[in-house]
A and B are shown apart, each in its own frame.
Chain A
Amino acid sequence: MVLVDLGTGALVAEPEEPATVLEPSADHDALATAAGGNAGPVAILFPTFADGRGFSLARILRDRLGFAGEIRAVGSLIPDQSQFLLRSGFDTAEIADRDAAETWRKTLSLIGRSYQPSARNPLPLRWNASSEAAVELGRALAATDDLIERIKLTAEHIEGRVAFSTSAGLEDQVILQAIAKSGVVKAGADFDIFTLDTGRLFPEVLETIELSELRYRIRIRLVSPDAREVEELVSRDGVFGFRQSIDNRKSCCEIRKVRPLNRALEGAQGWIAGLRREQSQARADVPMAEWDAERGLIKINPLADWSDERLNDYIDANGVVVNPLHAQGFVSIGCAPCTRAIEPGEDPRAGRWWWESEDRKECGLHVAGSETSAESVAQGEKAA
C-alpha cells in the first residue's frame, strides 16, 4: 500500500490498516458508526475516480459528525483530485505506486487558493482573502517598532474576537502588559485572555497570573482540559506516563494543552502568541502575522522580531511582572514535570522535555507546516 499524506504530499512511512472501509453508498448510520469507532483511519472507497460520492461522505464525517481521525481515500483516484480530496476532509490517499507520488505531490501545490469553505477552511468564500489580510497585517506590524502600537493595529485589523493565550512566560508577560496599557479592551475590542491550566502548572505560574491580574486590572481566564479525557489518559499511561515515550508525551500535551486551546480558539478571528525568531531553530522564520488555515484565524506574533536583549531591556524598563522561576534559571516554562532549569549558553528550550531530541520539542500549540504563513502565500504568488 502506498499512501500519500495530502497535507504534505509526502508518502506515509508506515500506514495503519483502516478501521473501517466505507462504500460510496454508505448511509448516515454507517457514517455515524465509523465516526464513533475507536479512532482508527476511516477509508472511503472510490470505485471510479468520476464517482464523487466519497467527497460528500468525507465532508459529512468531518463537518456533521465531528470525526477528527484520519480519513483515507482508497480506490480509483487521479492525482488531479488531490486538492479536492484534501479540501473535502481527507488526510491521505492510497495511490497506485510510488512512481505516481511525485505527480500527487506536484498537483497538491498547483492551486493554492479556493473560493469556498471546506473541511480545511472553515471560512466562507475566498478564505485566502483572509490569508491576504494576514499578509497585510504582517506588513503593518512590521512597519512600527512600538509594541503598544502593534497591539492597537491588531485590534484595528481584526474584526472579531482576538484570543491571547498566556503561559506567563517572559514574552507573554510583556504582551499582557502592552495589551493592558494600550487600552484596546476598554475601548471595546473583544480580547479573550486566557491561560491553559494543564493541571500540572508550577505554583509560581499561578502566582504570576494573579499578580498580573491585580497589577494590570485585567482578567485572565483559566482554561481547563476535559476532566474525563485526563482521567482516561492517566489511568492508561500512569501519572508520569509521558516520560515513557514520545507518543505518550504527545497525547498528554494533546489532552492537556492542544484540545483545550482549540476549544478556546473556536470562533476567534485572531490569536496573539509570544513566539520569537530567536527562541529556537524551529521558530527562526516565525512571521509577524500568518493565516492559520486549519483554525481559520490570523495568528499574530508581535514580538517575532525581538531579540533576547530587547526583551530583557523592555522588562526592566517597564516594570513587567515576571515569573520568579526565571530567576532560578528557568527560561521556557511549561508544565512542572516537563520543565527544568537550563545552564547559561544552553538552548532556551533545552529545559523542555529534556529527555527528547531537539527537533521534536513542540507541544503542538505552535506547529508550523500545516499553516499557510504570510510568507509562503507571498512566495506562492511569485512562483505562479
Chain B
Amino acid sequence: MYRYDEFDHAFVNERVAEFRDQVARRLSGELTEEQFRPLRLRNGLYLQLHAYMLRIAIPYGQLSPRQLRQLAMIGRRWDRGYGHFTTRQNLQFNWIKLVDVPDVLAALAEVEMHCIQTSGNCVRNVTSDPYAAAANDELEDPRVWCEILRQWSTLHPEFNWLPRKFKIAVSGAAEDRAATAFHDIGLRLVRGPNGENGFRVLVGGGMGRTPYVGQVIREFLPKEHLLSYVDSILRVYNLHGRRDNIYKARIKILVNAMGIDKFREEVEADWNATNKAAIDLPEDELRRIASYFAPPELPEQAPRDEALAARRESDPRFANWYRNNVLPHRVPGYASVVVSLKEPGRTPGDASSDAMDFVADLAERFGHNEVRVNYTQNLVLPHAALADVPAIYDALAGAGLATGNNELLGDMICCPGLDYCNLANARSIPIAKEIAKKFEDPERQTEIGKIRVNMSGCINACGHHHSGNIGILGVDKKGTELYQITLGGSPKDDASVGKIIGPGFRAENVPEAIDTIVDTYVENRREGENFLDTWRRVGPAPFKEALYGAR
C-alpha cells in the first residue's frame, strides 16, 4: 500500500501544526465560530447533536493493521471506545473533544492518516472498490489513481472553496462496486480503442435532495490526462456552479441546468486551453506511486481446499457465511473475506475499539496485512488463503463479526440519523435494528437473495437511500418521524434512482412494510430474477397494492 515518504510526513505534520494553531486561536477568541467553522470542517471536525464528531479519511478504504490499531487506540483514549464506518469509506468518532483534536490528528499522522478535506466545500476522500487488486474481474488497480487524485486534490490552491462538496470515485473492475454513477465525478477504467486502458468519465451524479445518475462526459480519456481533465471539470464548476442556494450548488445541478452537451463543451474548451503537461503526472512519478500498490506475493494454491469443503458440508452456519461473505479472488486458492459489521441488534457500521484490534490481528495472521472498508459499511480482508478461511470464520464468529449476510437484506446501509446527526430529521439506527430483527432468520434471507436496503435519516442521503433496491428516508412531519419508501434504485452498472412508492410510514410500521415489499417481490419473481429485474418487469402496481391496497 501507499507509504508516506518524508514529503507526506512533513506535509501532514505541518497540517497538524496549522490546526493546533487554529484551535488555539478559536479558544483564545481570535477566531469566531463563523470563521473557525470552515477551518475545522476542512479537518473533518463537525459539531453534531451531542458533541464534536471527527471524520477520518481512509483513502480508497484501505487500512494497514497498524493504522486500524491506532484508530482503536484513539477510540479508547479520546472517545468512547467505538467508531462508525461510513458510506464514504471513512471512520467517524462521535465524542471527540475540541481541545483534544490536535493530539488526535498528531496520533493519526503517526500512522500516515489525516482528516484533511473530509468535510467542507472541497474535494473529499476519493473512494474506490474495496476489492481492488483482489477481485477476479479487475482491469486495472484503481487505487493508484485514487492516490494520485488524493495528492493532487489535497489543499489544491484553486479548488478549496468550491460552491459545494465534491466527491470522486474510481472503479477498475467489470462490476462497479464503488457506486461511481452517484458521484460528482465517477471514473471507470475501461479498455480503449487501441487496447490501452483509460477512463470513462461520468459527471454530475449524486444523491441528496435532487438525485441524479451521472452522465458520460467522455467515453474515453487517456489515463495520462486524468489530472488535467479533472482540473478542467473543477474549473468550470468552480466558476459557474451556483453559490446563491446551498441546495442547488452541487455540480449535478449545473450539469443538468446546462445540459451535458453544453457542459462538455465548456470543459473541453477549458481543457484544450490547458497546458496539460504542467498538470498531468509525469511518467516516473506515476511509476513511483504505482510501485506502492504492487499486490502481495500470493503463491498459487490448490483452488479447492478439502477441509474447507468438508466444513461447508457439516456446518450450515459456516456454509451460509461462506456463500455470502467469501468472494472469489484473482489468484487461485485465495478469497476476499467480508468482516460483517451487520450483526442484528448492532448499529450498522459501528465497530468497537476491541473489534478493530481484533480485525487488525486477523489481517496480520491471515490477510497479508491489509484491511479494506467497504462503502456498504463492512470491513474486508482482501487477500486470504482459502485454507485459512475456516480459522478466520471461527475467530470472527467469536467476536460477533461473522454474520453471513453480505449483500443480503440484513446488510443494510444506514446513516447515523437523528441519534447523532445535526442535520437529520429522523432516526435511522433503531429502524435498521428493528428491520434486522424482523429478518434475523438466515434461511429467510437466503430465500430472498441479494437485495440492497439503504436508509437515510434525512434528505442528504448519507445512507444512499436513492440507490437502494429498497430505500428508506426519514422525514420530519410536524414533529413526528415519518419514513418514505423508494423502490428500484441501484448503485451498480445499471444505476438508477428509486421511486417513491406511496405515503410514508410511522417508525413502528416500517419493518412490516419492508416485509410486505419483500414478500411481494418473492411472490412475483421469476426464476433467476433479482429484485430489480422483477421491479422493472412488474412495475409499482403490485407493491402499491400490497402496501396500501387495504386502505
Chain A in direct contact with chain B (Cβ < 8 angstroms) = yes
Contact A128 B280 (CB under 8 A): no
B156, B158, B239, B275 pick with most chain A CB within 10 angstroms: B158
Mask of A72-87 contacts with B, CB within 8 angstroms, 1/0: 0000001011011111
User: B121 to A50, Cβ gap below 8 A?
Assistant: yes
Asked whether A115 and B30 contact (CB < 8 A) given A128-B7, A132-B6, the answer is no
| Number of interchain pairs (Cβ within 8 Å) | 117
What are the residues of chain B within 8 A of A87 when measuring CB–CB?
157
> Counting CB contacts under 8 A, is A124 at the interface?
yes
Closest chain-A Cβ to B487's Cβ sits at a distance in Å of 38
Residue A122 is within 8 A (CB to CB) of chain B in the complex: yes
Q: Which residues of B contact A187 (CB under 8 A)?
A: none
Chain A: interface residue total (CB-CB under 8 A): 43
User: Is A110 an interface residue, CB under 8 A from the partner?
Assistant: yes
Which listed segment binds B: A53-61, A177-185, A224-232, A361-369? Answer: A53-61
State whether the Cβ of A144 lies closer than 8 Å to any Cβ in chain B: no
Looking at the complex, which one of B156, B161, B235 makes contact with A116 (CB distance below 8 Å)?
A: B156
Among residues 71 to 116 in chain A, which have CB atoms less than 8 Å away from a CB atom of chain B? 78, 80-81, 83-88, 103, 106-107, 110-116
**B278 in contact with A117 (CB, 8 Å):** yes
Asked whether, in the complex, the Cβ of B285 is within 8 Å of the Cβ of A110, the reply is: no
- Give the residue of A56, A59, A113 whose beta carbon is less than 8 angstroms from that of B7: A113
CB of B77 closer than 8 Å to a CB of A: no
Q: Is the CB of B158 within 8 A of A118?
A: yes
- 148-173 of chain A: CB within 8 A of chain B: none
List B contacts of A207 (CB < 8 A). none
Q: Is B193 located at the chain interface by the 8 A CB criterion?
A: no
B32 nearest CB across to chain A (Å):
10
Q: Contact partner of A126 among B13, B151, B159, B162, CB < 8 A? A: B151
What 0/1 readout, one digit per residue, does chain B (118-153) give for beta carbons within 8 Å of chain A? 000100000000000000000000000000100111
A124 adjacent to B17 (CB under 8 Å): no
Min CB distance, A106 to chain B, in Å?
7
Q: Cα distance A107–B24 when bound, in Å?
A: 13
- Say whether B11 faces chain A, with CB atoms less than 8 Å apart: yes
Interface of B is mostly: helix
B238 and A384 contact, CB distance less than 8 A? no
Contact of B161 among A52, A63, A124 (CB under 8 A): A52
Cα separation A84 to B6 with both chains bound (whole Å): 22
Does B279 count as interface, using CB distance less than 8 angstroms? yes
Instruction: Say how far A86's CB is from chain B's closest CB, in angstroms.
Output: 8
Residues of B within 8 A of A83 (CB): 155, 157
Is B550 an interface position by the 8 A CB rule? no
CA distance A317 to B156 in the complex (A): 54
Closest chain B residue to A52, Cβ basis: B161
List the B residue with the shortest CB-CB distance to A46: B161
Q: How far is the CA of A106 from the CA of B17 in the complex (A)?
A: 12
B14 within 8 A of A: yes
User: Residue of A at shortest CB range from B42?
Assistant: A80
Q: A119 to B156: give the CA distance in the assembly, Å.
A: 12
Give the residue name and chain of the A residue nearest to B157 (CB): A87
> How far is it, in angstroms, between the C-alpha of A117 and the C-alpha of B39 when the chains are bound?
23
Known contacts: A115-B152, A125-B148. The answer to whether A55 contacts B157 by CB under 8 A is: yes
| A345 nearest CB across to chain B (Å) | 46
A113 touches which of B11, B30, B227, B273 (Cβ 8 Å) = B11
For residue B15, CB closer than 8 A to chain A, the reply is: yes
Extra A-B contacts (4), CB below 8 Å, given A87-B157, A88-B158: A52-B159, A106-B21, A117-B278, A125-B285
Q: Can you list 19 residue pairs at the A/B interface with Cβ under 8 Å?
A: A50-B38, A50-B121, A52-B160, A52-B162, A56-B239, A59-B157, A84-B157, A87-B157, A103-B30, A110-B14, A113-B7, A113-B10, A114-B157, A116-B154, A116-B279, A119-B157, A125-B151, A129-B7, A132-B7
Q: Which 4 A-B pairs have the closest CB atoms?
A: A52-B161, A87-B157, A115-B151, A110-B18
